[in-house]
Structure 1
Amino acid sequence: MLVVGISGATCSGKTTICNILRRIFVNSRVFNQDDYYWKEDDSRHVRDENSVINWEILSGFDMKTMHDDILDEIHKSKEISKKTLELNGAKEWRVDDIFTGADSLETKLDPANFKHVNFLLVEGILVLNDPKISDLCDYRFFLELDYDTCWSRRQHRTYDPQDQEGYFTKYAWPYYVSNKQEFESLGKPVTFLNGAKSIQQNLCNILNVISKRS
């Protein structure tokens, strides 16, 4: 099993990339950090003077349970010792070989050809900032994003609970910057990707990094 951690900015494509990987590599599983937020009324959340929750910090998540769930999945894997990604003779992964079109997220690969590959995909804005979870990852990817692109994409996203007015500039963006700096200070091996590029291209970049190192 290959444990792949994908972190980075909000709206940078993390979840979409993991979902596509899950469709291709059918014997894989995705752990989404958003599923481990404490409930909205939980007293462990940090709130400001207007009771707005800061959803951009590690204390907003039940990271112990997430770590334990990931570790349990690793232990249950029947192929825990298999840490290679076979390319079936291909030299590299290319967008044209995977997707039906440059703007399409539909793949033209037959998942039956990749049943031998087991990914455990761990994704979220702060998964790699948790040292215990980061240490479980064979590969780490961080999707960077510039302010303008991030803000433009964020405006077209729907959240539950909905963003409060000014949330992006007060919390989402500045904490992305500080969380990135905090992760970099850990000194973990990582591949940085440009989140402004297409989902298709970044997915290929991820697969090519894993293929070359395996």
Structure 2
Amino acid sequence: MEDQKAVIVGISGASSSGKTTLARLLRDIFPKTFILHEDDFYRSENELPTRDGLLDWDCAGSLNIPDMTKALSHIRANGTFPPFVDSKEDQNSVGACPVSDAKIAEMKAKVRDWVQPGQSGYEVLGDGKEGSGLRICLLDGFLLYSLEMQSVMDLLDVKMFLLVSRAKATQRREARDGYVTLEGFWKDPEGYVDKIVWPNYADAHAWLFEKGDVEGTLNERVLTERGILAQTGKGLDIDMEITFEWTVETLMKQLEALGKR
């Protein structure tokens, strides 16, 4: 870690699995933390592939992967948000926060204590002020662990994977107003999740699951080999408050381990 100025934490999962909500919560409780969104690397609409006659925003071909790896390399070397990235994703709403104020306060206190002098977090992040310790970059993306994204996976120091059922993902996605894009605004046409979003998720992530069933059991051997962390054995639609606490505690442990390298 001597040559790195930032730790890059991947938070991935299907569209509407809670990635952006979780990333924004973590940004608010870990010091010196910023978010880079995979969605900020979409190609322009006239470059997007199509599937079933519809624009396909949910496959690796829709993303400028070289630009993403360039941005991650900049972050590792400089510890700053890439000046050449124009973020649109933070303009998108993720709805009401599903985590209670009490749980957020509890986790904030836990992290605050953890970064005090003499504590493990202090060794990694310093005193929480600029100029001391490492920064944290949270990379939020729906395709981070697709095999087509190997160059991106290679630049992630911590890899977290969120689970969600097809029914829940569909319900959440269809409740959204739409998305800010380079060209303006995109709203899913009717049936978009069934025709585009979920099939692409299933195709890209089958390798992480037993028998390729993305609503089944994760393949723990593959997860271990690739260093991907997930809440195994708890089902698919885990309460966000539980996921939030798991993520905070897991990230603290991972940062401590990285600090000892």
Q: Same fold (TM over 0.5)?
A: yes
**1:164 matched to which residue of 2?**
189
**2:102 matched to which residue of 1?**
101
User: Does structure 2 retain, via aligned residues, the 8 Å contact 1:195–1:202?
Assistant: no
Worse-matched range after superposition: 189-198 or 145-154: 189-198
Distance 1:2 1:200 in 2: 24
Q: 1:168 to 1:71 in 2, by over 3 A?
A: same
The equivalent position to 2:59 in structure 1, one of 57, 60, 70, is 57
Residue pairs, 1:1-214, within 5 angstroms: 1-42=6-47, 45-48=48-51, 50=53, 52-77=54-79, 100-101=101-102, 109=108, 115=128, 118-129=135-146, 130-160=149-179, 161-182=186-207, 187-193=225-231, 196-213=237-254, 214=257
Structure 1 portions without partners, runs of 5+: 79-97
User: Does structure 2 retain, via aligned residues, the 8 Å contact 1:5–1:128?
Assistant: no
CA RMSD of aligned residues (A): 2.8
Following TM superposition, the consecutive aligned residue runs of length 4 or more in structure 1 with deviations greater than 4 angstroms are 105-108, 110-114, 182-187
Q: Which has the higher contact order (CA 8 A, sep 6+)?
A: 1
Structure 1 residues 166-187: Cα deviation after superposition (integer angstroms, max 9, x where no partner): 1111111111111112466795
| 1:106 CA displacement | 7.0
User: Which letter maps to 1:4?
Assistant: V
Q: 1:108 to 1:210 in 2, by over 3 A?
A: closer
Distance 1:183 1:65 in 2: 26
Distance 1:126 1:21 in 2: 20
Distance 2:165 2:14 in 1: 9
Structure 2 portions without partners, runs of 5+: 1-5, 81-98, 116-127, 180-185, 210-221
- Report sequence identity in percent: 22
TM-score, length-scaled by structure 1: 0.77
Distance 1:100 1:108 in 2: 10
Distance 1:10 1:149 in 2: 10
| 1:107 CA displacement | 7.1
Distance 2:31 2:206 in 1: 34
| 1:204 CA displacement | 1.6
User: Which letter maps to 1:63?
Assistant: I
Aligned residues: 190
TM-score, length-scaled by structure 2: 0.64
Residue 44 of structure 2 aligns to a residue in which SS? coil
